[in-house]
Structure 1
Amino acid sequence: MTIRRFSTLASRLGAASLAAALLVAGPAAAAEDGGLDRQRLRQTLNAMHEAGMYGTYSNVVDGRRSWKGAAGVADVETRRPVRPEMVHRAGSITKSFVAVAVLQQVGKGTIELDAPIGRYLPDLIPGERGQRITVRMLLNHTSHIANHTEVIFPTIESLDANRFRAFPPEELARAGLGAPATGSRG
């Protein structure tokens, strides 16, 4: 798929579909010699920006080879450019990465999907709750543990006030666990 055709296609896609289209366009943009095709990676970032993303950056690692790049602006008012080394909160997409990592461990036999979560996190989720909620329930969002974001960010103002604060994972988990359950598990 040429970059021009990709740009036309990307302009018709929503932001959520853009990432999927990038994966279809070419995984990790491998060059013919087996290395990273840095020009193609750069063109892909530029195409995302041209398709309407304000700014984007990427870090591609393939064994010992790596590439970092950026396109567009980080701030639409000041026009400050995006830099490849910028720090960004991953947000909801984190759930997909965690699920993949857990499923890889399931595949290796180190985690069981239907095991109680208390087996793996006894200090974090002790007692009956830790025995009744399974790993599978956490992954498919049927544990009904409350979302920590409503606890930590109860107002729009709190989002802005805490935007540069780093939260330890245990603090986020305890915030969700400390709130009332959102329903019955399972």
Structure 2
Amino acid sequence: MSESLPTVKNSTARTRRVSQRVVLTALAAALLAGAATPAVAAPSGTADSSAVPKAAAGQDRPELQKAIQDFVDAGFAGMQMRVNDERGEWVGSAGVRKLGASAKPPTNGRFWSGSTTKAFVATVVLQLVAEGEIGLDAPVAGYLPKLGLDRRITVRMLLQHTSGVFNYSGEFYLDGTFVPGIPSVGKEWVDNRFHAYRPQELVRLALSKPAKFEPGTNWSYANTNYTLAQLLIEKVTGRSLAEEMKRRILRPLKLRDTELPGNRTNIRGPHAHGYYRYEDAGQWKVVDVTRQNTSLLPAAGDMISTTQDLHTFFSALNGGRLIPARLLAEMRKPHPKSGGLFGRYGLGVYVQDTGPDCVGTLLNHNGSVGGYGSLMYSTPDGKKTLTASITSGDAAIDPAQAFPKALNKLVKDVFCGGKAAS
């Protein structure tokens, strides 16, 4: 690999810079500075007895422990990680479960997983496509006629972020301006982090704003697309997204620690605490945001999961166990105008080229909510995966520097044997 993870050339360098800025805002900035999504609470009496299971016999891999320690050394509070590959399974953690305490983050801990939710939602939509209930290139307005959507917007455009709809959690434009949406950063988010939102009100807000571009003519990451996908799933099936996810993914794969909590504001079971650093009246403050309401990002980032469940899901998806091969191929077709730190965007997944000196194609979808970040990577056959959770603490960190550097090293150590990819 080069100094940073490989990116894909867009039509202009300016577009690529904006795309990278949006991705960093959606993950690193949210993790470090509390942008983009709410976090959830853990009951105060949660036991931490299972905090750090040791790696399986023969899995002493100091390079992996060093790679996650690098995140802590960069200023993050803690990290837990799980790697599954030809050498078996490795699990480990670094940093602290809670500021002021010495216990490490639990390696079986639950966490707010943010936008990894999108890969689950895209999978449900594609299952409905496979069943003939939804047309991948059919107008969304045909299923949701009351919203007043542009009839050129198709189901595919929602999943690949090419609809052009305004991002209700705030929108970046090519000239560098930012148009705010629902409070998602700073003191305003902190003060509103327990507010309950309904998908319909978020969609109405987005549709009240001018479209960012004509449907299908460009790419821009927007949470609105996946909230619309939730409404689509619920309209077609007559059941809630949470019910459909349980029926189609969670129960078949026995993902017992993954859920869409709705308006519940706590994380049940073992977990690490996440913190948010923000400015208030010229003073920097830090608040524990483990408890929060993630209904701000319905179907776009409101899930709770574990590294084990993310591994099981992503391995099954890429191993061809959840959707037919033809639709898995569609999922992996990246849009040529997409790009950024994680690669180019397909349908609910990023497609990253790590080069001939690494593993070639790498699939991923990472995520964040206030105080929490998640990583989910897999090779195309699902046999080699990396899943992790990162929590922020009270340190001032530059997200454009610390996060990409640590992530680049981690991906190299796991998938490239520590060698730089071309």
TM (norm. structure 2) is 0.28
Which structure dedicates a bigger proportion of its chain to helix? 1
Kindly indicate whether residue 118 of structure 2 is the aligned counterpart of residue 95 of structure 1.
Answer: yes
**CA offset at residue 114 of structure 1?**
0.5
**Deviation by residue 1:151-181 (Cα, 9 ceiling, x = unmatched):** 1026522221122223222222222222221
Partner of 1:64 in structure 2? none
- Closer, same or farther: CA 169–79 of 1 in aligned 2, 3 Å: farther
Percentage identity across paired residues of the two chains: 33
RMSD over equivalenced CA pairs, Å: 3.6
**Deviation by residue 1:7-38 (Cα, 9 ceiling, x = unmatched):** 632543688xx999635479xx9xxxxxxxxx
For residues 54-69 of structure 1, the aligned pairs below 5 Å read none
**CA offset at residue 147 of structure 1?**
0.9
Q: Identify unmatched segments of 5+ residues in structure 2.
A: 1-55, 72-78, 171-180, 217-422
Q: Match of 1:145, as an amino acid? A: V
Q: Give the counterpart of 2:148 among 111, 126, 129.
A: 126
**CA offset at residue 113 of structure 1?**
0.7
**CA offset at residue 97 of structure 1?**
1.7
Q: Give the counterpart of 2:211 among 175, 181, 185.
A: 181
For residues 1-150 of structure 1, the aligned pairs below 5 Å read 2-5=58-61, 8-9=63-64, 11-12=66-67, 22=83, 24=85, 44=91, 47=92, 49-50=93-94, 73=97, 75-77=98-100, 89-123=112-146, 125-126=147-148, 129=150, 131-150=151-170
Equivalent residue of 2:145, what SS?
coil
Aligned-partner Cα distance in 1 for 2:82–2:105: 22
Q: Identify unmatched segments of 5+ residues in structure 1.
A: 30-39, 55-71
Aligned-partner Cα distance in 2 for 1:153–1:182: 20
**CA offset at residue 117 of structure 1?**
0.5
**CA offset at residue 99 of structure 1?**
1.0
Aligned-partner Cα distance in 1 for 2:135–2:80: 30
- Closer, same or farther: CA 146–82 of 1 in aligned 2, 3 Å: same
For residues 153-164 of structure 1, the aligned pairs below 5 Å read 153=183, 155-164=185-194
**CA offset at residue 92 of structure 1?**
2.1
Which structure dedicates a bigger proportion of its chain to strand? 2
| Greater RCO, CA 8 A, separation 6+ | 2
Aligned-partner Cα distance in 2 for 1:8–1:24: 15
